[in-house]
Amino acid sequence: MKKLILLGAIIGLFASCSSPKSLYSWYNYEDVTYQYNKKRTDELKVKVMDQYLKLIQKQKGSRKVVPPGLYAEYGYALYMGGKKEEGLNYLKEEIKLYPESETYISRIIKQLEK
C-alpha cells in the first residue's frame, strides 16, 4: 500500500512539473515594444512592425489565433504610418475576432476617420 501511495505521489509530482501550453505565441514582443517605447527610432519602428507581422502570421499558441489587441495595435500603427486603408482593415479585423472590443475599437475608428 505504501508503495502505491509513493508511486502516486511521484506521478503527481512529475505531472505537476509540466507547463501548460500558452494560449498565444508572443515571441519577442515585450522586449521589442519596450525598446521602441523607450527610444522611438525608425530602426526600432521597423522591428516592432516586423514583430507584429510575425505574431499575426506565425501564431503557434494553443488557440492558434492572434492575441487580443494585436490587430488593433498593428492597424493603428499602420494608420499612423500613412497606410490608412490597411490600418482600418486591421482595426476592423480586431472587432471580428474579438467582438467585445467593438465599443472601444469603433471609437478609435471614428476618431481616425474625422
Full pLDDT tens readout for the chain, 114 residues: 666 675 566 666 565 555 677 888 888 899 999 999 999 999 999 999 999 999 999 988 888 899 999 999 999 999 999 999 999 999 999 999 999 999 999 999 999 998
Single out the residue of 38, 36, 66 nearest to residue 48, CA to CA.
36
* CA separation for the pair 60, 25 (Å, rounded): 5
Contact 76, 91 (CB under 8 A): yes
pTM for the model stands at 0.79
Alpha helices (runs of H) in 18-83, residue ranges in sequence order: 29-38, 42-57, 70-80
DSSP type of residue 66: P
Architecture of the CATH domain 21-113: Alpha Horseshoe (1.25)
Q: What is the three-class DSSP state of 49?
A: helix
